Chains A and B, each alone.
Chain A
Amino acid sequence: MTEYNFNGQNCRGDKIKAKNLNFYYGSFQALRDINLDIPGCAITAIIGPSGCGKSSFLRLLNRMNDLIYGSRIEGTIELDGKNIFDRDVDVVELRKNVGMVFQKPNPFPISIFDNIAFGPKQHGKKSKIELEEIVESSLKKAALWDEVKDKLGQSALALSGGQQQRLCIARVLSVEPEVILMDEPCSALDPMATLKIEDLMRTLAKNYTIIIVTHNMQQAARVSDTTAFFMMEPDRAGSLVEYGSTSEIFTNPKDKRTEDYITGRFG
């Protein structure tokens, strides 16, 4: 199996392209004909009512849906021009390169330091000095360093919800991804913690491609550069209704369904 090297050109052009993507759980079609180009070094928001397949789509981007028995896709998803579902793609490397932050913060039941050092260790980094550097820089990038630098040996579970989520972001950063997927990262957090994470996202977007699924439209409007609106069709398959720059979508939507959703007529 040849190793696929991601080209490290994070900020040029479109980082991820979904082409004629259809996704099935067994015989149930969850996504229909998705065509979507996601720009590099920007924040793309995916919005839409519950059940429209936003999270399913997100999880295809790092092939977490491979874990679900009976799932299959048609079409392609290209990362830097290479289809991530090709046979010669190393899924483990893909997931290092496309990181994910989950809805509910899920730090491991170990110390803060060990949480961040975990990823690099599995990828072969062993020297104590290297790991300490990585932990410090990741925590700094995640705007958490000052709050925890004196208690790196403490259990990560002792942190507040917002801190735990920033820890999870630091953990993702420690393996040096190019893309960060965020699945409703603030839905379990209070407003103050949410704002901190939104600030963090904007800082990170200078160097990383960020894709965020959110059911909070105001958040999408605040934070993202481009927005994709998904909706569930009558047969319960999700499809892409409209996609464009965030300002366009929110001030001048072209599709009536988009307009209805944004103005709160349903969802």
Chain B
Amino acid sequence: MTNEPAIVLENVVLDFPVTKTGPAFLKEVFTGRMGKRRKDKYYRAVNQVNLEIKQGEVFGIIGPNGAGKSTLLRMMAGIYAPDKGSLKVRGRVSLLAGLGAGFQRNLTGRENISLSGSIYGISKDQLHQLIPSIIVFSGIGDFIDQPLRTYSSGMRARLAFSIASHLSPEVLLIDEVLAVGDSAFREKSKNKIMEMVKGEATVVIVSHNAAILREICDRVVCLDRGKISLLSSDVNAVIQRYRDLSEQR
């Protein structure tokens, strides 16, 4: 870990629209209530968050449901742009959330590797080199040239995880994907994640699993209703705060 920042958030705010559809939406249009109070039309998912995550740091995010953990992670990945404040990141970012982006059930495993890999931003040449290793790691064997719909859900998850584990980003964002496949593969994938976590990359991980956070994180933040409730390198204190908050609900 160095002292150089990898992710810097300054007063980041994200508002989600409260969507009205059908008659309610029409009513809003025709009664001219569109431009009324901002508070009624949006809820604040991320509220004035300031964070500085250092290069090589393993940073945990915990919090009750609806605290804005996943939203914050998606903002770091660039999926949502902040409404206010600034968000700066160094280097390439990969988000591991809901694996298997872009999978097509009628394409073969091999075709899906190319497609999904390029969606995750792996270049063509790199992908060409990585494909054998992705196939070996997934343990799918001869099925790789069969269409994805013939796979069991476990095989699909293994293929997806195998692709994700071959990304080599500078910043890795993980949203609770530590358990896929059968027990042997789960062990293998956990080791692989640990390998990635302990490597050069900066890691931000969202999890409810206290044991994992205790084991790998340098610092943990507890979010509550979009705000930072507690940020500390004392992981146990943060986890205690999370438990207190959950019980209050």
A binds B: no
